[in-house]
Structure 1
């Protein structure tokens, strides 16, 4: 089954959203932007599936090559990321500790991400830019203290993330990883926003990351330490989830930091994150222009 592929874009100085179809992009924002300015408002209104149905009869407004991909939800209230969520990833720490009983969480800002096809930016402060391929869930129905059994009814859509990290900056302080996770344009989200309609889209799908064509990370979501249901349940215990909130759910083993010696991303590298049914998120690497 092929699911609708929503995207956010910029074109000729205008930001919008649309649906990728054969031959190009149906510009939904040109038709509905006055009511729903971004995909976040479309999700809040519960209209993703309806807009996809309407677009089936429409011809593309422009070619896919004519747009610049932006992150699917341009202004989420929250971007919450889960760390250490695959068994082999936990073992990488070599601290003798069993898998944690609760998820490790941190926050990222929208400005730290860019869209599909755009370069991830290596800052002058450090050469240690690393990749982390992950699956993204986007909240559709808000809530607090959401039961695991009800969690999937709160998901509107799925996407992919390269949760790029400046490794030495996650150790700049005793307590947190915030700095190394939030350099501008070091990560990416996209390319698509795929409506979530079936547990089979998440429960046991393959997630992989390639660098210059070489598979560096590969695992299946059925092996996650904390399931998607548990993640939603846990996060919603302490904060109210709202439509458009983005949750980045953890990366498999195989990031560049774990090689001996480490293999950092460098200008010209190409990183691809792929998962069953969610497409391929592809970015190059470039140095920051000062």
Structure 2
């Protein structure tokens, strides 16, 4: 397995982690759970490579069809999201045509996300559920005021995010978007973690979002306004980044809010977020029961 796919999952309410091997799952939590209760502890120990090596000669313990995917890092200390990080996306904000000097940031909480193949939940308060496909970086080494030249050394793994948003609720107050970004189970992270080993994994890769098979968003990481290095440098200026922190790095143009009229997600829709070398995150849409 050249690039192991580490997953967190549950079965009948019990939580596990392992490696996805084809259509099977190698259960590593039963073998290493006393040392590393979750993938967060594995990352804190810098042990993804060791964990992958331990699975080299193992056969799958169960079928992927038997599991429920969870977000890869359970209970991260921080989930930090970058807004307006692609040129065409910036131009959508007609009151601010020039690229901003620093990234816009906001916080999301773990309960606002679900895993791969799980439904995003449209709440009764609003029909304006929207999609935002993004690349996720997971911090592997703690740091404060991290220089850009060293920033990539602090990444442990990569994943994907559908940073689902309740659009009218991001306008409920004058200065913040927190409300519209944190409805329970409106976004997703996954399907897995891909270990980060080389800058070429993220230097110039295609990021694409599809709704019911139709391409809605597409761009390349080389066009990001703020590079992965800059994002890590900037965030670590005012807070200490720790292992397991999740940074969601920005979405291309083409969200449903930008259509005329807007096209909101509805029950039965299928949203896929895909990036070269990372994988494909898939979710359906359902109304809250």
Give the TM-score, by structure 2 length.
0.99
* Distance in 2, Cα, partners of 1:22 & 1:93: 42
* Distance in 1, Cα, partners of 2:189 & 2:267: 19
Please name the residue that 1:135 is paired with: 135
Please name the residue that 1:228 is paired with: 228
CA shift digits 1:188-239 (9 cap, x unpaired): 0000100000001111000000000000000000000000000000000000
Please name the residue that 2:192 is paired with: 192
Q: CA deviation at 1:58?
A: 0.5
* Distance in 2, Cα, partners of 1:72 & 1:138: 10
* Distance in 1, Cα, partners of 2:13 & 2:232: 36
Please name the residue that 1:93 is paired with: 93
- 8 Å contact 1:170–1:179 — kept in the other structure? yes
Of residues 26-35 and 157-166 in structure 1, the stretch that sits farther from structure 2 once superposed is 26-35
Q: Alignment partner of 1:231: what SS?
A: helix
* 1:233/1:96 CA distance change after superposition, 3 Å: closer
CA shift digits 1:52-96 (9 cap, x unpaired): 111010011100111000000011000000000000000001114
* Distance in 2, Cα, partners of 1:66 & 1:48: 24
Of residues 68-77 and 94-103 in structure 1, the stretch that sits farther from structure 2 once superposed is 94-103
* Distance in 2, Cα, partners of 1:58 & 1:125: 48
Of residues 258-267 and 22-31 in structure 1, the stretch that sits farther from structure 2 once superposed is 22-31
Please name the residue that 2:12 is paired with: 12
Please name the residue that 2:74 is paired with: 74
- 8 Å contact 1:83–1:103 — kept in the other structure? yes
Please name the residue that 1:52 is paired with: 52
Please name the residue that 2:180 is paired with: 180
Q: CA deviation at 1:2?
A: 4.5
* Distance in 1, Cα, partners of 2:87 & 2:232: 19
Give the TM-score, by structure 1 length.
0.98
* Distance in 1, Cα, partners of 2:187 & 2:29: 25
Please name the residue that 1:266 is paired with: 266
Q: CA deviation at 1:97?
A: 3.1
Which residues in structure 2 correspond to 1:29-48 (within 5 Å)?
Answer: 29-48=29-48
* Distance in 1, Cα, partners of 2:183 & 2:22: 36
> How many pairs are equivalent?
289
* Distance in 2, Cα, partners of 1:132 & 1:198: 26
* Distance in 2, Cα, partners of 1:96 & 1:30: 52
* Distance in 1, Cα, partners of 2:230 & 2:53: 31
Gaps of 5+ in 2: none
Q: CA deviation at 1:50?
A: 1.0
* Distance in 1, Cα, partners of 2:92 & 2:189: 25
Please name the residue that 1:278 is paired with: 278
Please name the residue that 1:244 is paired with: 244
- 8 Å contact 1:122–1:186 — kept in the other structure? yes
User: Runs of 4 or more off by more than 2 Å in structure 1?
Assistant: none
Please name the residue that 1:113 is paired with: 113
- 8 Å contact 1:43–1:140 — kept in the other structure? yes
Of residues 260-269 and 13-22 in structure 1, the stretch that sits farther from structure 2 once superposed is 13-22
Q: Alignment partner of 1:43: what SS?
A: helix
- 8 Å contact 2:90–2:96 — kept in the other structure? no
Q: CA deviation at 1:23?
A: 4.3
